């Protein structure tokens, strides 16, 4: 049932932009740009995921199988969100983490999709939609942060 929920807004990079905005319009973020500015700095898929709440395809995204050590930053603003130390293979086809790098770098919001309520994860610095968090993850948290690769920039540890 969870997988069906994730397909609510699945887009390829060639899909038309017909989705709704990702965050509460009244919320103010440290970094704020117009749609035109975001579109000039992001790929079409990155824009749809981060600014329009789309979900990329499972197993066909950049970081679901990433094994190198490093950090995962917000593609829009560079905020450090996750590290490879918390990444694990959830078998879902998306990068999964059992905790964020810093809870202050994300916002959790209720998201209603397909008549179900889930928890959306948003970058606290720029409002980018990152993915969702579920309570079926491994210890020590029991959480699974299911994140779109298109919302992340991986920086390999040197």
Residues known to be catalytic: 146
Q: How far apart are CA 95 and CA 65, in angstroms?
A: 7
State the residue for tokens 């990155």: 46
Q: How far apart are CA 158 and CA 147, in angstroms?
A: 24
* Residue 90 region by backbone torsions, left for phi larger than 0, else alpha for psi between -120 and 50, else beta: alpha
| Closest to 7 (Cα-Cα) out of 63, 49, 58 | 58
For residue 97, report the phi and psi dihedrals to the nearest 5 degrees. Answer: -135, 150
- Contact present, 101 and 70 (Cβ < 8 Å): no
């Amino acid at each position: 049932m969870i997988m069906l929920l994730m397909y609510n807004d699945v887009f390829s990079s060639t899909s038309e932009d017909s989705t709704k905005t990702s965050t509460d319009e009244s919320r103010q973020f440290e970094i704020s740009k117009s749609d035109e500015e975001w579109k000039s700095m992001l790929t079409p898929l990155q824009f749809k995921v981060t600014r329009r709440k789309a979900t990329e395809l499972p197993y066909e995204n950049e970081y679901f199988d990433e094994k190198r050590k490093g950090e995962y930053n917000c593609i829009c603003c560079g905020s450090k969100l996750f590290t490879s130390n918390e990444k694990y293979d959830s078998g879902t086809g998306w990068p999964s983490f059992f905790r964020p790098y810093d809870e202050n770098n994300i916002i959790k919001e209720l998201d209603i999709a397909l008549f179900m309520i889930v928890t959306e994860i948003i970058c606290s610095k720029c409002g980018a939609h990152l993915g969702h968090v579920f309570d079926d993850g491994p210890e020590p948290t029991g959480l699974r942060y299911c994140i779109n690769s298109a919302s992340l920039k991986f920086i390999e540890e040197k």
